Amino acid sequence: MQLIQFTTSLVLCTLATFSAAFPVNGSTHEIDETQLDRRGTSVPFGAVIDRCTVPGTFALTFDDGPFIFTNKILDLLRANGVRATFFLTGQLHANIIANGDIVRRAIAEGHQVGSHTWSHPWLVGGLDQNVMVKQMTQLESAFLRIIGRIPTYMRPPYLAVDGSVLAIMGQLSYHVISASIDTKDYENDDPVAIWNSFEKFRRELDGGGTITLAHDVHRSTVDILAQAMIDEIRKRGLKMVTVGECLGDAPENWYRGAR
């Protein structure tokens, strides 16, 4: 009986707290959070997460794809027998719908995909909330077309968040993933300079970082950094898994159906 009462109050609380309406394009865009079941996961929504919680795990993440190098990263991950997470954009370096095969391949090979917004804007600094919602829901529509589901994990562009971003992501039921190792590979996209990113990676790994950020849109990351990171993590005896797995979240919670 107590359990039933608890469950009932949780449902009522969920209904009351997470219903939200956003006017988009002059009309009211209803975000019906009552359809979303949050109870299967212990991972918080709308709060910054930057490290793994499962001991001994490590999460490689690659942002800003899909792009012409993404398949090469997938080949490399497969050859190494490790899993990673891709935070994908709708239209940045390439269009996600035109590259649906890459998205489906990543999932088929055991990787996780998450949202990185439609077109990679700065979300902080007073961006209109309707624009922020549209950045997420436009990409959700693309994911529905490509994989029939919507990711529940997102990464804010530039890792930039403020209270407004977190509130919106919470209302949209997204886990917000930052990073505890930032390779800054975009500053070092050169066969020599990329080793600066590797040294930064190693220092932050020494500092206890467990979620690392790199980009599958830079040639030196794909050709050099990714393998160097994998070799180093392996040397430390850590298991490379998806972000969801490193947070102890069951795979069925990594995606949801249409809103």
Which residue is catalytic, options 215, 216, 218, 249? 215
Q: What is the DSSP letter of 33?
A: G
Q: Which of 108, 113, 178 is nearest to 142 (CA)?
A: 113
CB 112 within 8 A of CB 85: yes
* Shortest spacing between CB 19 and Zn ion, in angstroms: 30
Of 43, 62, 64, 129, which one interacts with Zn ion (CB under 5 A)?
64
Nearer to Zn ion, 88 or 230 (CB): 88
Residue 216 binds Zn ion, judged by CB under 5 A: no
- Cβ 211 to Zn ion shortest distance, Å: 14
Taking the C-alpha atoms of residue 130 and residue 213, their distance in angstroms, rounded to an integer, is: 28
Say how far residue 5 (Cα) sits from the centre of its chain.
35
One-letter amino acid for residue 227 of the chain: Q
Determine the size of the site formed for Zn ion (CB under 5 A). Answer: 3
Please indicate whether residue 93 is annotated as part of the active site. no
Pattern 147-166, Zn ion, x by CB under 5 A: ----------x---------
Supply the minimum distance, in Å, between the C-beta of residue 120 and Zn ion: 6
Q: Could you give the CA distance from residue 145 to residue 150 in angstroms, rounded to a whole number? A: 10
Nearest to 228, CA basis, from 205, 201, 256, 257: 201
Q: Toward Zn ion, which CB reaches closer, 89 or 242?
A: 89
Active site residue 63: yes
Q: Exposed e or buried b for every residue in 48-87, given b needs 16+ CB within 10 A? A: ebbbbeeeebbbbbbbbbbbebbbebbebbeeeebbbbbb
Residues 61, 156 contacting (CB under 8 angstroms): no
Query: Is residue 185 close enough to count as binding Zn ion by CB under 5 A?
Result: no
* Residue with smaller CB distance to Zn ion, 33 or 215: 215
Q: Which of 18, 45, 62, 63 binds Zn ion (CB under 5 A)?
A: 63
Helices 226-235 and 194-206: angle between axes, nearest 10 degrees: 30
State which residue, 111 or 120, has the beta carbon closest to Zn ion.
120
**Considering the complex, what minimum distance in angstroms separates the CB of residue 115 from Zn ion?**
11
Please report, as ranges, the residues that interact with Zn ion according to CB under 5 A.
63-64, 157
Active site residues: 63, 215
